[in-house]
Structure 1
Amino acid sequence: MPMDEDAVAALYRDHAAALRRFARGAVGSEEAEEIVQEAIIRVWRHAPDGTQGLRPYLYRTVRNLIVDQHRLAGRRPRTVAPLDDEGGFAAAGGERFDELLDRVVMEEALARLTPDHRQALVAVHYRRLSVAEAARALGVPAGTVKSRCFYALKALRAALDEMGVER
């Protein structure tokens, strides 16, 4: 199949920056760029018809390439000592890697929320503050905190769906 350079360039222009940010959280910058380029080529060759499902398909492809790279690296002899529990990829069975990848996905999705929605969601769901405590910390009424959390969760679900995260 001859490669349509304009189509590949358009895919890269429209999606590469977001995919690179997503991949960079799990692998280094150089590896992220290679993964994004490979994902763009794969998606261009095998993308679903239409553009509606393209973005989630791109994110799933990048995620699969990151997992493949991690598995392949696990089969190679280590040239450096594994990181400790605070630092990263050292746990057996890839559990730390999966946790890291989940965290990267969540951080990317949270970054898509408005600052007000993100602050309310983080206060209530991550810092485990009560609605009243979050309202005092954010300087807004309790009803506003509830409303922001409701709409933040809705937007977060939409962002995760767009990124191809399955529930």
Structure 2
Amino acid sequence: MSTEKGAPAGTRSEALRALADAHAAAIWRYVVHLTGDRAGADDVVQETLLRAWRTPAILEQGPEGTRSWLFTVARHLVIDEHRSARKRHEFPTDELPERAERDRTDALFESILVEEALAGIGLEHRAVIVHAYYGGKSIAEVARELDIPEGTVKSRLHYGLRALRLALQEKG
């Protein structure tokens, strides 16, 4: 197997290993100096060496040219990360922020309106609506609890909901 430049893959891997041994620690210290982030420095060094591996001509240069190329790539990676949208929108913190809760004002306002509207309809209609909708009971269960026929429950639900709708429309 050969590379783009005709050098055997094993030779290229050995050159990259030698490059990492010779320069990785110095690049890591340089990146830590620039960023103050030790974990981030590991990522930058890894990406710098990956780019060197993808650029076979770098592995064939002399040691001084290679070293300056590696430091330039590392510096550009740090700059790119600093300019990235992810970096601008993330803020490190020692504590997790409190979980944001939805504003329940609208729900509270709606429940007050429904309560007032329910108070404005007849007691028999209100009892059926409360048992069926707020109690989560079936027609048969409501009929048993209120001791009325199922047909009457259906009728009271129909007319009660109609009255409730009108009362809510009046309230806006």
Q: TM-score range by the shorter chain?
A: 0.3 to 0.5
Structure number having the greater helix percentage: 2
Structure exhibiting the larger radius of gyration computed from Cα positions? 2
Give the structure-2-normalised TM-score: 0.41
